[in-house]
Amino acid sequence: MTWAEFLPLFFLAVMGLSLLAYVVLDGYDLGVGLLLPTASNAEKDTMIASIGPFWDANETWLVLGVGVLLIAFPMAHGLVLQALYIPVAIMLIGLILRGVAFDFRVKAPLRYKSFWNRAFFSGSLIASTSQGWMLGSYITGFSNSPLSWAFSLGIAIALPAGYMLLGAGWLIMKTEGNLQHKAVNWARRMLWPMAFSLVAISAATPLVKEGVIAKWFGVPQVFALMPVPLMCAIAFFAMRWVLTRPTLISTGYGWVVFANTVLIFVLASFGLAYSIFPDIVIGKMTVWEAAISTASLNVIFYGVAITLPVIIAYTIFMYRVFWGKASELKYN
């Protein structure tokens, strides 16, 4: 493989890593926002405090992923944003609403606090369902058939459920007492809907994307891919094992729920990447067709080689500094 052939793959990998990191890191704080209405007022403050140091920085990964798409694959960026203009705009409205509500719920007079709590929940719901719709539309190649619309709607419903499971797992790790018990119950309720959604989406994907059946069930691919569903099944049953045994939570094994949910997201992302490769816009453009010139990619390569390690380093440092149990969020 030549350097000119490798560079587009490098930037595709960076974009994929960025979007996966965003889904996992911003996914849990979106999930916390979606769980907010089921908590008491005091518990809502603790829930917000658990994501307070992290949630804004988590969105850096979305900026990086979209930035790489724009700079390295401008033709693909144009096709994707043209097809997803409305859901992207709706997602941004949701993210802006979350940001405003996050600050105003603490600083506004007490009588308005419930309004901003509802706004934070609404922003989380708008952003997560929009992302699900965009993912479904992308997988179907932006088709407008009834089956494609139904598929996109299914993912728009399933992704918030996955985020809620992530959020519940995060709260199990970051909280104590009654709120932690509630988080365990939330995770139990989300576990099987999440499993059903994943199976349903996996079964429907070959119907909306040609060639997937051959990629999944051809020989020897089927044997190489067999560990993916097996690992997903093991992850689900590991979460169920922990969630049905409160003593494991109290003895420090609450992280199993969050870690295995992350593992499922990673495996699902791997399956999606494998299914659509080498296309970057499904059925319309491969990664090499979408990439800009090698000379331009060379310049961008040095910028990404500096920027990406810095983002990874400060993300690790931030989580290390602010790790520990959450307490009530206060502004002095």
Domain that holds residue 279: 9-321
Measured CA to CA in angstroms, residue 184 lies from 198, 235, 242, 306 at distances of 21, 16, 9, 40
What single-letter DSSP state applies at residue 280?
E
What whole-number distance in Å separates Cα of residue 75 and Cα of residue 89?
20
Q: For residue 328, is it within any domain?
A: no
Helix axes 3-35, 41-51, angle to 10 degrees: 160
Instruction: Sort residue 306 into left (φ over 0), alpha (ψ -120 to 50) or beta.
Output: alpha
Q: Calculate ∠ Cα 230-235-238, nearest 5°.
A: 125
H-only helix segments in 140-176 = 146-174
Q: For residue 84, is it within any domain?
A: yes
Q: For residue 329, is it within any domain?
A: no
- Domain tally, the chain: 1
Q: For residue 170, is it within any domain?
A: yes
Q: For residue 240, is it within any domain?
A: yes
Nearest to 154 by CA among 205, 112, 116, 225: 205
H-only helix segments in the chain = 3-35, 41-51, 55-58, 60-72, 74-83, 85-107, 113-139, 146-174, 177-208, 212-217, 221-225, 227-243, 246-248, 255-276, 287-290, 294-321
CATH number at residue 226: 1.20.1630
Q: For residue 331, is it within any domain?
A: no
Helix (H, G, I), strand (E, B) or coil at 210: coil
Per-residue pLDDT of the chain (332 residues; tens, 9 = 90+): 788 889 999 999 999 999 999 999 989 999 999 999 988 888 898 999 898 888 778 888 988 998 999 899 999 988 888 889 999 999 999 999 998 998 888 887 878 888 999 999 999 999 999 999 999 898 888 888 888 888 889 899 889 999 999 999 999 999 988 999 999 999 999 988 888 888 888 777 777 667 777 777 777 777 878 888 899 999 999 999 999 988 888 888 889 999 999 999 999 888 888 888 888 888 788 999 999 999 999 999 998 999 999 999 999 998 888 888 876 655 55
Cβ(123)–Cβ(95) under 8 Å? yes
pTM of the model: 0.91
What whole-number distance in Å separates Cα of residue 260 and Cα of residue 237?
10
What whole-number distance in Å separates Cα of residue 93 and Cα of residue 128?
12
Specify the amino acid at residue 207. L
Q: For residue 159, is it within any domain?
A: yes
Q: For residue 330, is it within any domain?
A: no
What whole-number distance in Å separates Cα of residue 201 and Cα of residue 269?
13
What whole-number distance in Å separates Cα of residue 27 and Cα of residue 12?
21
